[in-house]
Structure 1
Amino acid sequence: MTEEIISRATLASLSNRIWMLEQEKEVRACIQRYMALCDVLDVGFDLSLLMDLFTEDAVWQGVGKRYQKTFGAYEGKEAIAKMFEKYTVPPAHFALNSHFLTNEFINVAEKTADGTWLLLQTATFHDGRSQLSSAKLTVKFSLEKEQWKIKYFQTESLFNRPMDTPWDVDKDLPTPNK
């Protein structure tokens, strides 16, 4: 009898741990999808793809001395879409945009999750200027109909470094013996 109870308890514990790991993977996939879509924001971009990642009552917020002024805060999916819409009309804002996430921490509860990441962004604007930026992301997620969605997205600037030339220069890469 004791072995059966221990086995049921062990099985339940393992099942819960597997569920938590699977949910952590899905949360990670949500933020990675968000970043991948932000990398291709361009004239004519279908914003519904990005907005599908947010809850109806989501908040998107820039904080700190630089991002509070630059981005501000938006409450609700519709307001967030309007903020992103300015990146989808001519002229194109970005010629190149790449987001890199690191230093990840994800905590999953039953129907909510929290995550923090460090972001590095390399961007070249349509006028040829470039920028290297880093930010701390604090994101809260909500599980809706078996899908993790962003409920709260906060970005706080750590540093920004303007560059006078584009990141991508059309020159051959150096290789051995060339």
Structure 2
Amino acid sequence: MTDVTDTLTRYLALCDVPARTTGDLADLFTEHAVWEGGGSAYAEKFGRTEGREAIVAMLSAYLPPSPHFRTNVHLLFPGTVDTDGRTARGSWPMQQLSRYESGDTEVMVARLDVTFRLDPDRARISAFRTERLFSAPLMGQR
């Protein structure tokens, strides 16, 4: 389903650093969306955030002008999507490569489980769950 993948790809691109803008993030979520971390590592780190405005505020804490990431890129791998015509549910593996402001680097793999509301103009995220599966420091220059 192209609309679903387009929305998720746009979301990840807006979360990359340096990003051009975060203003479009809000349009990717439904008004009452839920964003949560799953599994022991991410449930504690991210918890659960409810509502479009709260989600954008939480995500913005990791994005410029916040100094959290120096650079950050998300790579989305093929996943599965099921739809009933009004909603779609998908699951994707995602890799994230990060260089933090401290100079530390990390490679991380997570599973994204995402539910979308299929609006006439685009698929919007109504529930987003990320669970870290693997992470390790990257070796190399700081």
**TM-score computed with the length of structure 1 as normaliser:** 0.73
Shift of residue 89 of structure 1? Answer: 5.4
**What is the CA deviation profile of residues 122-157 of structure 1, one whole-angstrom value per residue up to 9, with x for unaligned ones?**
100111100111111100000223311000000011
Shift of residue 160 of structure 1? Answer: 1.1
| Greater strand share, structure number | 2
Contact 1:134 1:159 (C-alpha < 8 Å) held by counterparts: yes
Distance 1:39 1:82, change over 3 A: same
Shift of residue 48 of structure 1? Answer: 2.5
Contact 2:17 2:63 (C-alpha < 8 Å) held by counterparts: no
Distance 1:40 1:140, change over 3 A: same
Query: Which stretches in structure 2 are left out of the alignment for 5+ residues?
Result: none
Q: Greater RCO between the two (CA within 8 Å, min separation 6)?
A: 2
Distance 1:91 1:153, change over 3 A: closer
Give the counterpart of 1:39 among 1, 5, 16: 16
Runs of 4+, deviation exceeding 6 Å: none
Query: Which stretches in structure 1 are left out of the alignment for 5+ residues?
Result: 1-23, 170-178
State which structure, 1 or 2, has the greater radius of gyration over its C-alpha atoms: 1
Distance 1:88 1:101, change over 3 A: closer
Give the counterpart of 2:137 among 159, 162, 168: 162
C-alpha distance in 2, partners of 1:91/1:50?
A: 16
Contact 2:31 2:52 (C-alpha < 8 Å) held by counterparts: yes
Equivalent residue pairs, number: 142
One-letter code aligned to 1:126: E
1:82 aligns with 2:46: no
Q: Which residue of 2 aligns with 1:97?
A: 72
C-alpha distance in 1, partners of 2:31/2:10?
A: 18
Contact 2:14 2:21 (C-alpha < 8 Å) held by counterparts: no
Distance 1:88 1:135, change over 3 A: closer
Distance 1:32 1:89, change over 3 A: closer
Contact 2:39 2:131 (C-alpha < 8 Å) held by counterparts: yes
| Greater helix share, structure number | 1
Shift of residue 87 of structure 1? Answer: 2.1
1:57 aligns with 2:32: yes
RMSD: 1.9
Contact 1:26 1:148 (C-alpha < 8 Å) held by counterparts: yes
1:29 aligns with 2:6: yes
Shift of residue 86 of structure 1? Answer: 1.2
